[in-house]
Structure 1
Amino acid sequence: MNFRLRALGAASAIALALSFGPAHAGKNDDTLRAAMAEEILNLDYNYTTKREYIILAQLTDATLFTIDPVSQEVQPSIATAYDFVDDTTLDVTLREDVKFHDGSTLTAEDVAYSYNWIKSPESESNATGVVSRWLENAEVVAPNKVRFHLASVYPLVIRDMANRIMIRKAGTYDANGTINRDAMASDLIATGPYKVTSFEPGTELVLERFEDYFGDKPAIQKIIVRNIPDVGTQQAELMSGGVDWMFKVPLDLAESLGKTPMASHLSGADLRVGFIVLDAHGYTDPEGPLTDVRVRQAINHALNTEEMAKYLIGGSAEAIHTACHPAQFGCDQSVTAYPYDPEKAKALLAEAGFADGFPLELWAYRDKAAAEAVAADLTAVGIKVDLRYVKLESLNQARAARDIPAYFGTWGSGGTADTAAIARIHFSDSDRNMSGDADLEALVLSAEQTADQEKRKEIYSEALGKIADEAYWAPLFTYSANYLVSPDLDFPLDPDGLPRLQHASWK
């Protein structure tokens, strides 16, 4: 959708809203109505991955620990403390007042079961990869204590516990010996600040405050999440009072509608970054242009990332030159940068033997305007780009088959402000790693084998320096989170860019 059409859409929404007049019911009935474009089909975050599901999990679930979004320090949650008995043995002490939404009390057996189930191959959980790299098994050693036996030294284990594994009642997924991975997909029984009262997949989710929640109670009694795929419809609903909160709002729409008296535009940081991954190893063509570092450097010089960040992403977005978010621990900013310089790009291409350019198939699945800007910049220096804009599933399948020479990707690190959250996924044993650099992979993994934070920083600096020098990526920009909310709603923004509706309140 081009800018003019989006502007017309905003104008139409404003006109529609003015015709209805203000009718914000949320504050009156203590019900926050949130709009999400992505279909909500499964409530169990142990079996989902997308940002929308992370937001919902924050509402309905609780983990052993949490990470403070400002300080990035570990805080207690279901667990009150932890102790490393030795390098590969971890004892976690649990609260004794944690209730499940069905009223039963959480036990150490529930915690051990949850981790052991996720670890087992038969679980086929989306979270299995998180624990399989470090967990041997979990066992109950006291009524309120679980011992985790680690497969190897792994200093990031507490961070993983804070970010991913949701606790389920023992036997949830394999009651009576029958495996049911969808046991919590619709009828979720969890431990978070809100409980599910009704759920119509793909249409509406109704949550009510869980009065027996062990932590701080949220201010708002009820949250209704509505699936509204069309952004224009979301806008109209917000302006007429049918919706109080929406996110992933295009910048121009957010700015236009935020100027009306019936909506507030909020813009904050987001840990998501955009980048181009290049087939440096030559999976698609062993003798291809991308195997030449000068070509990859030329691609970096060809991209006007400053303008992309300012005009296509907007808000707090900024150009980046590292393979991580600048706010993440270990994201060294002193690595080699490739300033926008089309002439330098052309010279490097000529030096590599491609003075007349070469054909490049560039894949993308989101942010079409940004993908087109990348294609245009590369075309301007002589690279003949064939932009293939596809669904994410198609891109994932082609990447797994090693059929993609270059793609525009993004990564939000699950809201984790640590370079480990992006480096391991993209530069270790993964189809996302197209560098073919075994030494780099070993280096990245070694950062997870030391508890010395300064040593971790040094390792990531070395790894990021190598990624930059070899131009395995073309880093583009950080993202900005744009929201439109009811004027009656106080919605605090956290620096990690993860929306936490449980912290919202009425003005």
Structure 2
Amino acid sequence: MKRCKWRMLCATGFVALTMSFGAAVAGPDDDTLRVAMAEEILNLDYNYTTKREYIILAQLTDTTLFELDPVTQEINPAVATGYEWLDDTTLEVTLRDGVMFHDGSTLTADDVAYTYNWIASSDSESNATGVVDRWLANAEVTSHNTVLFHLKSVYPLVLRDMASRIMLRKAGAYDANGEIDRDAMASSLIGTGPYRVTNFEPGTELVLERFDGFFGDRPEIGTIIVRNIPDIGTQQAEMMSGGLDWMFKVPLDLAESLGATPMAEHSTGADLRVGFLVLDAGGYSDPDGPLTNVLVRRAINHALNTEEMAEYLIGGSAEAIHTACHPAQFGCDQSSIAYPYDPEQARELLAEAGYPDGFPLEIWAYRDKAASEAIAADLTAVGIDVDLRYVKLSSLNQARAAREIPAYFGTWGSGGTADTAAIARIHFAEESDRNMSGDAALAELVLSAEQTTDQAAREEIYSDAIGKIADEAYWAPLFSYSANYLLSPELNFPLDPDGLPRLQNSSWN
């Protein structure tokens, strides 16, 4: 029997392929970019969503006060044209004239103040509330184009938060006539971005057209159609038949295989997501457990062949890491101690710690099964009896909150923010159940970096924190991730170093 040349193609079957030939042909002929997303798109309002798919869509339909340059990490003007710190806790923001909403109305200072005050309020129940609640006391209109932001305390990441999370809405958008409607923008979105919504069938299809009233750079492609296609095989068949121009979150083997044909191109780039093994150094699951011993934690670090995991299991541009942050993030000091792969050293440390014959260890995981199994195999090889519990993320989160997990394989993408703050606060603040270090001094150190606007001081603080995490081996850092895409040969899709896909920058070859 003749073997199939393309592994993933064989898996989808001929029927799925032939079914797609009737689909509309994507490409430049009708200036329509057709993309696929496996995740159901149910709510277009990024103020009330969190996943990567919604971030991609928000880049198309919305704008923020400032924007972050993914290459230089500089904060640049967007809806705002400038800012001035009147004192350590008062920020004056000046707005651009003539910014239009998709309904043709003009954005005002009242709209900006309303948006921020609404998101910060307890009534909003927004997914973005946590971002502003840590620093915003209130926003005050002071003129037709200026807004004062009153801070609760010194917070150096205000502009970065403004550039990444809060999407601007018209005053009264969520509580018109005193009636709260948190879903007001879920399907009938009125934004200020480069594309406007012309049709939306939740869970099926979203049609976006270029907004001629957009204040910024005009996108080259006129129409973008986003289709919900949960099955990767169906996506693949659509790509091969010309019904799609863009796929993301593509498994490496499929991306390489289909990218080697004339029907698609494989594009790979960096991603700020990192993988890591969190160890219960604080003894929450077992006060006298072996993971409370730093020698055991160091042994675990030495036992893991992270370079092979990155190269063969994650692939693309993935790399082994040795810090509790992404190397591209501000403050992620790479001079901290590293634990090279050394199984013999791992065994010696286990023996020194009093575990010459190893010990039983339950490890939880929810994604990347091959990598999870590789972690278990490497630890088993040095004598640790691993019980790998592969579960849904919701189950892992519940067990972690109950402090029942001795170790887990986790990942974090930092929301595309190239600053150690985006990973450190979440995983090492004292109130976070992700923090299993039991180190109150470390938690205080991490939070102190958010109490100064001096960037040099922040960098030094994070360097100290990352160094301490490495020395105490609170984590076993594993690898960075790689973003894999399949593109139509007619599409030019530039990649940015933060791993966030920006479809608005696409063009036809």
Q: What interval of TM-score do these two structures reach, taking the shorter chain for normalisation?
A: over 0.9
Deviation string, structure 1 residues 341-364 (Cα, Å, up to 9, x no partner): 111111111222222222222111
Contact 2:8/2:253 (<8 A) preserved:
no
After superposing the two structures, state which structure 1 stretch, 462-471 or 36-45, moved more: 36-45
Q: Of 429, 432, 445, which aligns to 1:430?
A: 432
Contact 2:26/2:34 (<8 A) preserved:
no
**What is the CA–CA distance in structure 2 between the aligned matches of 1:5 and 1:448, rounded to whole Å?**
55
**What is the CA–CA distance in structure 2 between the aligned matches of 1:229 and 1:426, rounded to whole Å?**
31
* Structure-2-length-normalised TM-score: 0.96
Contact 2:321/2:480 (<8 A) preserved:
yes
Q: Tell me what 1:504 maps to.
A: 506
Question: In the superposition, relative to structure 1, how do residues 109 and 5 fare at CA in structure 2: closer, same or farther (>3 Å)?
Answer: farther
**What is the CA–CA distance in structure 2 between the aligned matches of 1:367 and 1:7, rounded to whole Å?**
22
1:10 aligns with 2:9: yes
Q: Tell me what 2:67 maps to.
A: 66
Q: Tell me what 1:225 maps to.
A: 226
Q: Tell me what 1:79 maps to.
A: 80
* Aligned-pair CA distance for 1:24: 4.4
**What is the CA–CA distance in structure 2 between the aligned matches of 1:365 and 1:323, rounded to whole Å?**
19
Deviation string, structure 1 residues 284-324 (Cα, Å, up to 9, x no partner): 11111111111111111111000000001111110000011
After TM superposition, list the pairs within 5 Å mapping 1:179-218 onto structure 2. 179-218=180-219
Deviation string, structure 1 residues 110-158 (Cα, Å, up to 9, x no partner): 1111111111122111111111111111010001000000001112110
Gaps of at least 5 residues in structure 1 are none
Q: Tell me what 2:344 maps to.
A: 343
* Aligned-pair CA distance for 1:10: 3.1
Q: Tell me what 1:460 maps to.
A: 462
Contact 2:7/2:257 (<8 A) preserved:
no
Deviation string, structure 1 residues 371-423 (Cα, Å, up to 9, x no partner): 11111111111212121112222222222222221111111111111111111
Identity of aligned residues (%): 78
1:492 aligns with 2:494: yes
**What is the CA–CA distance in structure 2 between the aligned matches of 1:395 and 1:203, rounded to whole Å?**
30
Question: In the superposition, relative to structure 1, how do residues 119 and 20 fare at CA in structure 2: closer, same or farther (>3 Å)?
Answer: closer
* Counterpart amino acid of residue 156 in structure 1: L
* Aligned-pair CA distance for 1:178: 2.0
Deviation string, structure 1 residues 229-268 (Cα, Å, up to 9, x no partner): 1111111111111111001111111111001011001011
**What is the CA–CA distance in structure 1 between the aligned matches of 2:41 and 2:360, rounded to whole Å?**
39
Q: Tell me what 2:260 maps to.
A: 259
**What is the CA–CA distance in structure 2 between the aligned matches of 1:245 and 1:13, rounded to whole Å?**
18
After TM superposition, list the pairs within 5 Å mapping 1:356-505 onto structure 2. 356-428=357-429, 429-505=431-507
Aligned residues: 504
**What is the CA–CA distance in structure 1 between the aligned matches of 2:483 and 2:384, rounded to whole Å?**
32
**What is the CA–CA distance in structure 1 between the aligned matches of 2:327 and 2:380, rounded to whole Å?**
29
**What is the CA–CA distance in structure 1 between the aligned matches of 2:343 and 2:110, rounded to whole Å?**
61
* Counterpart amino acid of residue 478 in structure 1: S
* Counterpart amino acid of residue 401 in structure 1: A
Q: Tell me what 2:240 maps to.
A: 239
Question: In the superposition, relative to structure 1, how do residues 204 and 289 fare at CA in structure 2: closer, same or farther (>3 Å)?
Answer: same
Q: Tell me what 1:286 maps to.
A: 287
Question: In the superposition, relative to structure 1, how do residues 7 and 404 fare at CA in structure 2: closer, same or farther (>3 Å)?
Answer: farther
Contact 2:135/2:152 (<8 A) preserved:
yes
Contact 1:272/1:478 (<8 A) preserved:
yes
After superposing the two structures, state which structure 1 stretch, 274-283 or 82-91, moved more: 274-283
* Aligned-pair CA distance for 1:177: 2.0
After superposing the two structures, state which structure 1 stretch, 234-243 or 175-184, moved more: 175-184
**What is the CA–CA distance in structure 2 between the aligned matches of 1:6 and 1:193, rounded to whole Å?**
41
* Counterpart amino acid of residue 471 in structure 2: D
* Aligned-pair CA distance for 1:99: 0.9
SS in 2 for 1:308: helix
Q: Tell me what 1:157 maps to.
A: 158
Gaps of at least 5 residues in structure 2 are none
SS in 2 for 1:469: helix
After superposing the two structures, state which structure 1 stretch, 41-50 or 138-147, moved more: 41-50
After superposing the two structures, state which structure 1 stretch, 196-205 or 107-116, moved more: 196-205
Q: Tell me what 2:271 maps to.
A: 270
**What is the CA–CA distance in structure 2 between the aligned matches of 1:31 and 1:58, rounded to whole Å?**
18
**What is the CA–CA distance in structure 2 between the aligned matches of 1:468 and 1:144, rounded to whole Å?**
47
* Counterpart amino acid of residue 493 in structure 1: L
SS in 1 for 2:450: helix
1:32 aligns with 2:30: no
Q: Tell me what 2:93 maps to.
A: 92
**What is the CA–CA distance in structure 2 between the aligned matches of 1:160 and 1:176, rounded to whole Å?**
30
Contact 1:14/1:239 (<8 A) preserved:
no
Contact 2:23/2:243 (<8 A) preserved:
no
